[in-house]
Amino acid sequence: MNAETVFRAKELRKNFGGAFTLRVDDLEIRRGEIFALVGPTGSGKSTLLRLLHLLETPTSGTLEFEGRSVVHPAELAIRRQITMVFQRPLLLRGSVLDNVSYGANLRRHRDPGKARRLLDCLGLAPLANAPAFPLSGGEIQRVAVARAMAIETPVLLLDEPTANLDPAHVLRIERIIRSRREDTATTIVIVTHNLLQARRLADRVAVLLEGRLVEVAPTERFFDHPADPRTAAFVSGQTVW
């Protein structure tokens, strides 16, 4: 394994009662890159993200984190290096600021100033002291992103982080993702249905179709010169599943 490899999956399978099987024959995610997962709804993108986050155990195959097998993850030290923003995040009781500070405080990285800066970057500063529960879906999504950014783990997994946002707030999220990678060399894996977003943000892109990893390529080549005809059909908007 290359010293710059963070995740490596080989012959990875996740079965769900025979109805669906995720198949990832060979996947490498490198340190410090922004890696986008695209594909139609139900193709297995969120399942793969949950496997990388050690929330699911593979049915078979191998998954390594920095060269260490995590097929049967039990090591808190590994889990603490990964933060995930879920597609439908949950907030805690308390204020917006309490939520953003929570994870960092648990790890004794208390920095209220940083939490407030993140809120400001995401257009949430006026809501800092407001209760979290009456927030809109888009506001909840932005709070969840701020909360994850405050923890500063070396790996960040994002499941549709801009799905509920208007274009202006999409750009705010994209700016903070770029800044996080540039400032800290964080490895970022993002699931998105927005192909333009994948093109704007990612160093490399992978496509999942019907549960199978079809192609992984540098972003420009993925969109402009895909090697697999199924990838070409997908990025051009044709139905391929």
DSSP string, 72-132: S---HHHHTTEEEE-SS----SSBHHHHHHHHHHHTT---HHHHHHHHHHTT-GGGTTSBS
How many angstroms separate the CA atoms of 171 and 51, rounded? Answer: 28
pLDDT of residue 79: 85
- Per-10-residue mean pLDDT of the chain, 241 residues long, equals 84 86 96 98 95 92 92 72 94 94 79 88 95 93 95 95 93 96 97 97 98 97 97 86 54
pLDDT of residue 73: 53
How many angstroms separate the CA atoms of 65 and 6, rounded? Answer: 5
pLDDT of residue 17: 77
How many angstroms separate the CA atoms of 78 and 7, rounded? Answer: 12
pLDDT of residue 239: 63
pLDDT of residue 111: 73
How many angstroms separate the CA atoms of 126 and 139, rounded? Answer: 12
Element holding 26 (H helix, E strand): strand 21-30
Q: Per DSSP, what are the bridge partners of residue 9?
A: 27, 63
pLDDT of residue 71: 63
pLDDT of residue 72: 62
Scan for tokens 């529960």, then name that residue: 133
Q: What burial class does residue 142 get, using C-beta atoms within 10 Å of its C-beta: 0-12 exposed, 13-18 middle, 19+ buried? A: buried
Element holding 43 (H helix, E strand): none
Question: What radius of gyration, in Å, describes the C-alpha atoms of the chain?
Answer: 18
Q: What burial class does residue 101 get, using C-beta atoms within 10 Å of its C-beta: 0-12 exposed, 13-18 middle, 19+ buried? A: buried
pLDDT of residue 106: 80
**Angle of the 167-184 helix axis to the 137-151 helix axis, nearest 10:** 10
DSSP string, 182-220: HHH--EEEEE-S-HHHHHHH-SEEEEEETTEEEEEEEHH
